[in-house]
Structure 1
């Protein structure tokens, strides 16, 4: 029986820079950072309130083909790939705080049926969706 999600991958251009962004800018914490065989680096961060979920910051590489690695690199360079969605207490305040840290806000906070949503970009070009959630039902999308 599957009980929960434990790891999500986020492709990044530079693991050190991404780790710094996710920890120093977003406020996540380090979970693991080790180098395994053949120079493969396993680097994960987590949110303080959800320690069972690790965000694996990884550069595209093996076992992907060179063509797939090139495609992922191009997607990162274009700045339109999705990384993760994060819940926040106050979406507008969080965006202001991130903007003050030079984070690019690509979609300003906006009311949605499920809460207030904004989109920022990490330092690898990935989209991070910020949601200040609220209760909703299917009727709210009418």
Structure 2
């Protein structure tokens, strides 16, 4: 068994697609209209185009807003992305205007940082020990 797909609820799929591809560097994999304003919209890592897909899912359900708001209020990231060097990625993303809620922080063998994805979520970056 392996993880094939996971999702983040987003306020605006077009805005999320721009942020996750143009700023974070993911690649669009699927973009299928679902009727109305919503789409089946997934992105993947360019390093693993056949790997786990991230669904940029509309946050239309009322429970999604309550859940996301509670996580943000408590400073809890919705998801974590692995990077080779958190500090370097922090500097790159700050240079692109990304707002961080936690600067790089060494936590034992792991370094983390947390940013606002502009779509209603906090996302954590982590560098695993080598």
| TM-score (normalizing by structure 1) | 0.78
Give the match for residue 42 of structure 1: 40
The equivalent residue for 1:122 is 117
Structure 1: runs of 5+ lacking an equivalent? 136-142
CA deviation after TM superposition for structure 1 residue 13, in Å = 0.7
Alpha-carbon contact 1:79-1:124 (below 8 Å) kept? no
Q: Is the 8 A contact 2:103 2:114 kept in 1?
A: yes
Separation (CA, whole Å) in 2 of partners of 1:113 and 1:70: 33
Displacement of 1:38 in angstroms is 5.4
Aligned 1:85-124 pairs, distance under 5 A? 85-124=80-119
Q: TM-score, normalised by structure 2?
A: 0.85
> What SS class does the counterpart of residue 82 from structure 1 fall into?
coil
**Structure of greater relative contact order (alpha carbons < 8 Å, 6+ residues apart):** 2
Consecutive unaligned residues of structure 2, counting only runs of 5 or more, are none
Partner of 2:17, secondary structure, is helix
Counterpart-to-counterpart distance in 1, 2:111 and 2:32: 37
Q: Number of paired residues?
A: 129
Distance verdict in 2 for CA 1:103–1:4, change over 3 Å = same
Give the SS at the match of 1:96: helix
Structure 1 residues 117 and 96 mapped into 2: Cα distance closer, same or farther (>3 Å)? same
> CA 1:37/1:79 → structure 2, altered by over 3 Å: closer, same or farther?
farther
Deviations along 1:73-118, one digit per CA (max 9) or x if unpaired, are 7558869563321111111111011011110011010111232111
| Mapped contact 2:77–2:114 kept (Cα < 8 A) | no
Question: Shift of residue 70 of structure 1?
Answer: 5.1
Distance 2:27 2:76 in 1: 23
RMSD: 2.3
Moved over 6 A (4+): none
